[in-house]
Chain A
């Protein structure tokens, strides 16, 4: 049964991108375990404001696991200790009375801290802009059922498409690699007939952008897939490697 708990929250505070950050520990009493993690942070912020202190800056938007904004490294895990969920879907029942919860921002060179727990994730947007789309002349839109796609293929494309671009993969990776994200974006399109046409070009462009932005080289440790809130599979990385290598050897 959910009950009320008293906790300590150890949060990374950093006033700006160029300033050194540090941890600050706050005591928070009477938190309902049915509350979501972000609600707990909201309560903490209200407490800080009441004390005339600067509230903690953190990214959030949908609060239902679809926008990918809520980047927090909670107790050593991106999106917290529970698996296959985002921070906004995490609830306080995963923590016990008297616990000290450590909350950090993503720490990876490609995601510089803007303030406190907020990081700049535009690097992922730039990779998308490099080729994460289908450039078709739509004309009269054909009926979706006109092109038959086998169910397993459609499922796999859908699973890859569930990536919300949250950045947990690169944040969790000891090599600072963005391969899981890029491979999910390449796969969701490469698997389907509409996306297949530009698959080679897309793989080359997105990988080139990823390398240019300074992301690391994937060594298949698998931390990304283990921490991904959408359980995107490592099999996508193999597909990206395949697409890329084939494209390069054809050139």
Chain B
């Protein structure tokens, strides 16, 4: 199968799964914004979304497709890196330089990806396990009602010093994600062939915009609750 056996086929899979995950991030990130809106104006938007998605069949199907996307992206990343290391060989240059125009993140995508995955594990444990998983299995995984997502998030981020540590961990995680995406998005478009002498510069800008947008949506929520928490601690 050429999607596994040819280099361009493998990169095609990386690009498609990667872009799919970016779209999901945008979707997820815009839902999260409701948390801030709710907290400022006393509305119930986030919980309404939690209830609507919850453990419905389409949310479950979505979660499964998503998990598959992450898994494929992850497995191919290791496969590609393994092959690339072998292609490079064992002999290293005594003097290594980073030529002008080569982004640092482009050479460290695997490491950044691993940080993102570790953050994801923490995130799944803190959020998904207490929301969708609890709702699905009926097991009480926390003191909160699994449909009261807003309370779960707020507690996690504003719970004294623990909340501050969580916020910082999330900030590190999101930064790694930004670096990963700032190379990943344009690289995916380039791999799909959507580039030429003119578009090469444009897709790099598009990549940066997408990375900033996707990460920004999450960052706003974390920073907002960090601010609220510090305000509470100071008072």
Contacts and interface: CB of A to CB of B under 8 A. Distances in A.
Query: Do A and B make up one complex?
Result: yes
Interface of A: 10, 12, 23, 73, 75-77, 83, 102, 104, 107-110, 156, 172-177, 179, 207-208, 210-211, 214-223, 225-227, 233-235, 237-246, 248
Contacts of A239: 193, 196
A211 B195 CA distance: 23
A73 B83 CA distance: 23
A131 to B, nearest CB: 14
A48 B12 CA distance: 52
Contacts of B87: 108-110, 175-177, 214-217
Contacts of B183: 220
B193 A207 contact: no
A219 B187 contact: yes
A12 to B, nearest CB: 8
A240 B89 CA distance: 25
Contact of B193 (A172, A226, A241): A241
If over half of B's interface residues share one DSSP class (helix, strand or loop), that class is named, otherwise mixed; here it is helix
Contacts of A207: 6-8
Contacts of A246: 193
Interface in B177-234: 183, 186-187, 190-197, 199-200
A76 B94 CA distance: 8
A242 B193 contact: yes
B93 interface: yes
Nearest to B186: A220
A222 B106 contact: yes
Given A214-B86, A218-B7, A77 B99 contact: yes
A23 B89 CA distance: 19
B102 interface: yes
Residue from A107, A208, A220 whose CB has the most chain B CB atoms within 10 Å: A220
A54 B87 CA distance: 31
Nearest to B98: A223
B95 A75 contact: yes
Contacts of B107: 174, 221
Contact of A235 (B11, B12, B109, B196): B196
B104 to A, nearest CB: 10
A248 B97 contact: no
A235 B197 CA distance: 5
A220 B187 contact: yes
Given A233-B197, A235-B197, A243-B193, 11 more contacts: A104-B94, A109-B86, A173-B88, A174-B84, A177-B84, A215-B87, A217-B7, A217-B83, A217-B84, A220-B187, A241-B8
